[in-house]
Amino acid sequence: MSSRDVVLGRVRRALAAEPRDTGRNEPPVVRDYRRVHGSRTAAQTVELLAENLADYRAVVHRSDPAGLPALIARLLADRGARSVVVPRGLPASWLEAALAASSGLTRIEDRAALTPAELDAVDSVVTGCAVAIAETGTLVLDAGPDQGRRRITLVPDHHVCVVRVPDQVVGSVPQALPRLAPDRPLTWISGPSATSDIELDRVEGVHGPRTLEVILLSASGQSG
């Protein structure tokens, strides 16, 4: 018998002798903390999101559904993108203008077989989001149909994320959590990837996209 077996045997005997606590005698957890700071209308919450996104050096645009395809096409063209990775559930109309025959842009479907090297060669990625948090300027992706696998938003250097406002915008993290399933692969994004670990010099694009562009999409939105 090894030392490992001896130790594990003692642990098993100790656990067997200890009565299981059902938790019925434990006091309930009091959750009376503040869920959101201040009182805001839905429009004010969206404005706070836009302000904090910009503070984190994301580039914020606004659009309505009619103008969205042209806006996405312009953002990809301005970036000089030759390829874009697309989640399977992204609305087809969003990329109609960008993928016009004359654009020269190659659409790459999100699929399990994509290798890190292939993703590294992709110029841009366009996704939706699960929820956006105004107080922290954070986008949360949960690998939903319009967001795709986590890696497609971590490897390409340019991420265009569409947020439906006001439906997908909440004020605070406590308000966001009930909307998210803890068993899904969550990606929390506050601005482009960056670090200041070396001599406090900010370097972007270290752990993910160097450029994050966020489109706030509403029925009455104005193009940004």
Phi-psi region of 56 (alpha: psi -120 to 50; beta: other; left: phi over 0): alpha
Q: In the predicted model, is pLDDT for residue 155 greater than 80? A: yes
Any domain includes 43: yes
Any domain includes 112: yes
Domains identified in the chain, total number: 1
Any domain includes 109: yes
Any domain includes 93: yes
Task: Answer with the residue of higher pLDDT: 223 or 136.
Answer: 136
Any domain includes 124: yes
Q: What is the pLDDT of residues 19-38, one digit of tens each?
A: 666 556 778 878 777 788 88
Going by DSSP bridges, is the β-strand pair 138-141/187-189 parallel, antiparallel, or unpaired?
Answer: antiparallel
Any domain includes 25: no
Q: Round the average pLDDT of the chain to a whole number and report it.
A: 88
Distance CA 123, CA 205 (A): 13
Distance CA 145, CA 110 (A): 10
For the ranges 53-67, 99-113, 155-169, which has the lowest average pLDDT?
99-113
Q: What is the pLDDT of residues 105-124, one digit of tens each?
A: 999 999 999 999 999 999 99
Q: In the predicted model, is pLDDT for residue 223 greater than 50? A: no
Domain span including residue 142:
38-217
CATH number at residue 162: 3.40.50.10420
Q: What is the pLDDT of residue 108?
A: 96
Any domain includes 31: no
β-bridge partners, 216: 62, 163
Any domain includes 26: no
Residue 64 has a CB neighbour count (10 Å cut-off) of 14
